[in-house]
Chains A and B, each alone.
Chain A
Amino acid sequence: MAPPDTRVRDRDRASPEGPRGNGPTDGGNAGAGRRGGSPGRVSRLHRWDAKWSPYAFIAPFFLFFAVFGLFPLLYTGWASLHSVSLHNPTQMEWAGWHNYSRLLEDEFFWNALRNTFTIGVLSTVPQLLMALGLAHLLNYRLRGSTFFRVAMLTPYATSVAAATLVFAMLFGRDYGMINWVLELVGIDHVDWENGTWTSQIAVSSIVIWRWTGYNTLIYLAAMQAIPGDLYESAALDGASRWQQFRHVTIPALKPTILFTIIVSTIGATQLFGEPLLFGGSQTGGGSHQFQTLGLYLYEQGWFNFHLGRASAIAWAMFLILILIGLINWLIGRRLQKSH
């Protein structure tokens, strides 16, 4: 391969000089060269282009992923096998699996895992159900539908900090609006932050408020892709609105629903800003009653300065996410097979 290649290139390099050289033979020579080499070169270039340029185009993402995603991930894994203090992060002392084995006996870790799970369920389930219902309503012909759609998205556009601070005030014990309303109705006021369930409901409500609109729009987009004739024929068969929703809309939305479940589960596992700002502290309440895994990681790393332990929590979270992803994938495959 190589020798002809060079020859071609040599001739090519000569060819531009062809016209400047006044001998017709020179030009002829160059022409012969072009005739012989160029088509191959062009097609080869073409092949290269088709083959490699996609890689060049996706390279920036993977490059940034390698630097800001993969490297930290691996480094965190490495750090989790050491005893590292934030006081001196470069000084690592090999600890083997100690950070992981102590996690298994760490009641604060299990507490955080439990909280993450319950807050995750409390926030994700109502959120997706409401989003589905809202999307269904928005899918009807409505006056000012654009307005409603934009309005759905505004909570998503608010910052966690702003939303959480407002919710913390709403759920306030002494001067909160929710307690004020409860008292109007004759119910004793609730110390939201200090109860386990009440605090978790309060934190979940922030998540629900922020993410329902986002999921609604995703469902809505998927619903609009469902062909109208499906509904028409269902209607002809005498299906009610509810039956249409159950037997036409929901099956058509399955992949979308699966997607939102995955995204919400990932979000719920990483929940951090809401519980942090709701309680105003990394402890997640006096009894850690709403300390999530993310918050516990933050407390271990940035308040207790145990970077090794924090890294182990981070990896535990990562493994949990992979597990959840696997379960989702299995369920998704099951669903697809059943159809």
Chain B
Amino acid sequence: MRTDRTTTSAQRLGTRTRTTRLAAAGLAAVLGAGLLGACADDGSSDSASSGDGSGGDKTTVSVGVFGVFGYKQAGLYDEYEKLNPGIRIKENSTERSEDYYPALLNHLTAGSGLSDIQAIEVDNVNELATEQADKFTDLGKANGVSKDDFLKWKWDQAKTEDGKVIGLGTDIGPMGVCYRKDLFEKAGLPTERDEVGKLWAGDWDKYLDVGEKFMAKAPEDTHFMDSAAGLYNGAVSGYRIKNYSRSGELVYKKSRAVQDSWDLAMRAIDGKMTGKLKQYDTAWDQAYANGTFASVVCPPWMLGYIKEKSGSRGADKWDVAPAPKPANWGGSFLGVPEQAKNKDEAIKLATWLTAPEQQAKLFKKQASFPSAAKALDMPEVKNAKHEYFDNAPIGEIFAKAAKGIPTTVLGPKDAVIKQNISEVGILQVEQQGKTPEQGWSAATKKIDDVVED
């Protein structure tokens, strides 16, 4: 059969090459038409927008963000447009940071598709500062930017080795501990936030001592905290050296930060203090609604979430106390790519948006905690109280934490390391009944695989 086919095709070879050539020509023609069509489209839309531009004579500055940054909601864009009549601001928002960052990397490499201002998450800022620094403008030297306006550790996070600053700080996430007074009371623990704070001040182990006391008298079906991973994150973020040494070496396997925090997580699991939940899972939300855990390590940006998920049933039950040690979770930066179309205007806008006054406004309207040291002392922030959390003076509590946060040495694979320790290592021990050794080796095996070239 096979030979038959070859002879036929050999006989028809002549026809076939002609066929192919013609088909190719046809395809080329259609392709050409398509391309021309696309060009025509581009042309018309270009002329349309430039027509708009000449009509209003405005420069459009685009801002690329992920999730909700709240600038629009807080009216900051409107305010800036009013102050600068020649400027129009357009926001391009991607919902998930996990989608936003790969796209940003692609755009940076391609040198196109970039917004004039690009938001950068703290988990990614070090990677960009080490590997893509030349693609961002140095905002540290921009007009009107003052290093002293910002918290030092925040400023340093976006700094490259040779002192270039690729992003200006927006919000931060100094952590506290949110706790349920009703459950604390039932377990015979103090409920007043100053006293609660004193129970564990300065030492995460003391937090677990309280947990042991709680579990001894815990109401049925309740646990002291939501998840061991939340505790790990709170503890490990308070150290100067966690995953990388100052010289950029990977030291997570033997650093005190990771070891101590891992041991804390294991102690919590061993004492059955955790609700075996995964943060941001549906079950976590349901546990808020049902009030089945008594405390959670919480940065200010989580307060709104807790309020939403706990709902009216949890009203007047939550409160916030300072965490054992100050530490940061999350926060972002605004950077201006070298390739930005309106670089100068973008720098001006980024500077304005991250200035203390605007950060304070944003905090008031959107509860994004300011990274500008000056903003922390402004009355909007300093005197802020959270009604749902029994009028806790969140401005004071979190500002105090913010000022005590150390400059943590960051590294490019921080996010992967944290994720695998939490979602593989800790999860295996907490939810799948494996031993701490098994969990640790599973996590490190995965991390080794990722960091290997």
List the interface of chain A (C-beta within 8 A of B). Answer: 52, 55-56, 59-60, 62-63, 66, 83, 86-90, 106, 108, 165, 168-169, 172-175, 191, 194, 280-281, 283, 286-288, 302-306
Give the one of A66, A169, A191, A305 with max B CB within 10 A.
A305
Closest CB in chain A relative to B363 CB, distance in Å = 30
Partner of A174, one of B23, B283, B432, B434: B283
The answer on a CB contact under 8 Å between B424 and A56 is no
The answer on a CB contact under 8 Å between A280 and B131 is no
- Which of B208-216, B295-303, B378-386, B442-450 is near enough to bind chain A? B442-450
Return 15 A-B CB contacts under 8 Å, by A number: A55-B23, A55-B26, A66-B27, A86-B106, A108-B449, A168-B282, A169-B282, A172-B282, A280-B281, A283-B423, A286-B423, A286-B427, A287-B432, A303-B98, A303-B416
Closest CB in chain A relative to B413 CB, distance in Å = 9
Partner of B27, one of A59, A87, A172, A305: A59
In the bound assembly, the distance between CA atoms of A286 and B446 in angstroms comes to 11
Q: Per-residue 0/1 for B86-112: is the Cβ within 8 Å of any A Cβ (1 yes, 0 no)?
A: 000000000000100010011001100
Closest CB in chain A relative to B161 CB, distance in Å = 17
Chain B residues lying within 8 Å of A306, measured Cβ to Cβ, are 450
In the bound assembly, the distance between CA atoms of A108 and B286 in angstroms comes to 32
The answer on a CB contact under 8 Å between B31 and A286 is no
In the bound assembly, the distance between CA atoms of A286 and B439 in angstroms comes to 9
Closest CB in chain B relative to A188 CB, distance in Å = 15
Chain B residues lying within 8 Å of A280, measured Cβ to Cβ, are 278, 280-281
In the bound assembly, the distance between CA atoms of A283 and B431 in angstroms comes to 15
In the bound assembly, the distance between CA atoms of A304 and B292 in angstroms comes to 35
The answer on a CB contact under 8 Å between B109 and A90 is yes
In the bound assembly, the distance between CA atoms of A174 and B131 in angstroms comes to 44
In the bound assembly, the distance between CA atoms of A305 and B453 in angstroms comes to 11
The answer on a CB contact under 8 Å between A287 and B280 is no
Closest CB in chain A relative to B419 CB, distance in Å = 8
Chain B residues lying within 8 Å of A106, measured Cβ to Cβ, are 449
Chain A residues lying within 8 Å of B13, measured Cβ to Cβ, are none
Chain B residues lying within 8 Å of A173, measured Cβ to Cβ, are 276, 283
Query: Which positions 251-268 of chain B face chain A at CB distance < 8 Å?
Result: none
The answer on a CB contact under 8 Å between B286 and A63 is no
Closest CB in chain A relative to B443 CB, distance in Å = 10
Known: A87-B131, A286-B423. A172 touches B105 (CB 8 A): no
Chain A residues lying within 8 Å of B222, measured Cβ to Cβ, are none
Chain A residues lying within 8 Å of B132, measured Cβ to Cβ, are 87-88
**Top 8 nearest A-B pairs by Cβ distance?**
A286-B427, A304-B450, A286-B428, A175-B286, A194-B431, A194-B432, A55-B23, A283-B423
In the bound assembly, the distance between CA atoms of A66 and B419 in angstroms comes to 38
The answer on a CB contact under 8 Å between B286 and A87 is no
The answer on a CB contact under 8 Å between B283 and A56 is no
The answer on a CB contact under 8 Å between B26 and A56 is yes
Closest CB in chain A relative to B418 CB, distance in Å = 12
In the bound assembly, the distance between CA atoms of A143 and B351 in angstroms comes to 70
How many pairs of A and B residues are in contact by the CB < 8 Å rule? Answer: 87
In the bound assembly, the distance between CA atoms of A288 and B449 in angstroms comes to 14
Chain B residues lying within 8 Å of A286, measured Cβ to Cβ, are 423-424, 427-428, 431-432
Closest CB in chain B relative to A295 CB, distance in Å = 13
Chain B residues lying within 8 Å of A60, measured Cβ to Cβ, are 30
Known: A63-B31, A172-B282, A287-B442. A87 touches B287 (CB 8 A): no
Interface assignment of B36: CB less than 8 Å from any CB of chain A: no
Interface assignment of B127: CB less than 8 Å from any CB of chain A: yes
Chain A residues lying within 8 Å of B424, measured Cβ to Cβ, are 283, 286-288
Closest CB in chain A relative to B323 CB, distance in Å = 26
Chain B residues lying within 8 Å of A303, measured Cβ to Cβ, are 98, 416, 419
Chain B residues lying within 8 Å of A56, measured Cβ to Cβ, are 26, 30
Interface assignment of B22: CB less than 8 Å from any CB of chain A: yes
New A-B contacts (7) at CB < 8 Å, excluding given A63-B30, A280-B280: A52-B26, A56-B26, A59-B30, A89-B106, A108-B449, A165-B282, A303-B419
Closest CB in chain B relative to A178 CB, distance in Å = 14
Known: A86-B105, A88-B109, A286-B424. A174 touches B30 (CB 8 A): no
Query: Which positions 284-322 of chain B face chain A at CB distance < 8 Å?
Result: 286-287, 290, 292
Residue in chain A with minimal CB distance to B277: A174
The answer on a CB contact under 8 Å between B26 and A174 is no
Q: Per-residue 0/1 for B125-160: is the Cβ within 8 Å of any A Cβ (1 yes, 0 no)?
A: 001000110000000000000000000000000000
The answer on a CB contact under 8 Å between B26 and A59 is yes
In the bound assembly, the distance between CA atoms of A60 and B23 in angstroms comes to 12
Q: Per-residue 0/1 for B405-438: is the Cβ within 8 Å of any A Cβ (1 yes, 0 no)?
A: 0000000000010011001100110011010000
In the bound assembly, the distance between CA atoms of A322 and B276 in angstroms comes to 42
Partner of B22, one of A52, A191, A283, A305: A52
Residue in chain B with minimal CB distance to A196: B432
The answer on a CB contact under 8 Å between B102 and A86 is yes
In the bound assembly, the distance between CA atoms of A83 and B282 in angstroms comes to 38
Closest CB in chain A relative to B133 CB, distance in Å = 12
Chain B residues lying within 8 Å of A172, measured Cβ to Cβ, are 282-283, 286
The answer on a CB contact under 8 Å between B423 and A87 is no
In the bound assembly, the distance between CA atoms of A306 and B452 in angstroms comes to 10
Closest CB in chain A relative to B221 CB, distance in Å = 9
In the bound assembly, the distance between CA atoms of A174 and B431 in angstroms comes to 12
In the bound assembly, the distance between CA atoms of A236 and B329 in angstroms comes to 78
Partner of B105, one of A55, A87, A191, A288: A87
In the bound assembly, the distance between CA atoms of A40 and B20 in angstroms comes to 25
In the bound assembly, the distance between CA atoms of A60 and B27 in angstroms comes to 8
In the bound assembly, the distance between CA atoms of A62 and B20 in angstroms comes to 13
The answer on a CB contact under 8 Å between B105 and A62 is no
In the bound assembly, the distance between CA atoms of A165 and B141 in angstroms comes to 48
Chain B residues lying within 8 Å of A283, measured Cβ to Cβ, are 419-420, 423-424
In the bound assembly, the distance between CA atoms of A305 and B428 in angstroms comes to 24
Closest CB in chain B relative to A189 CB, distance in Å = 13
Chain A residues lying within 8 Å of B416, measured Cβ to Cβ, are 303-304
Partner of B423, one of A63, A191, A281, A304: A281
In the bound assembly, the distance between CA atoms of A194 and B34 in angstroms comes to 51
Chain A residues lying within 8 Å of B98, measured Cβ to Cβ, are 302-303
Chain A residues lying within 8 Å of B423, measured Cβ to Cβ, are 281, 283, 286
Closest CB in chain B relative to A146 CB, distance in Å = 36
In the bound assembly, the distance between CA atoms of A10 and B431 in angstroms comes to 86
The answer on a CB contact under 8 Å between A62 and B27 is yes
The answer on a CB contact under 8 Å between B286 and A89 is no
Give the one of B26, B98, B127 with max A CB within 10 A.
B26
Residue in chain A with minimal CB distance to B445: A107
Closest CB in chain B relative to A23 CB, distance in Å = 41
The answer on a CB contact under 8 Å between B131 and A88 is yes
The answer on a CB contact under 8 Å between A302 and B102 is yes
In the bound assembly, the distance between CA atoms of A306 and B451 in angstroms comes to 10
Chain B residues lying within 8 Å of A108, measured Cβ to Cβ, are 446, 449
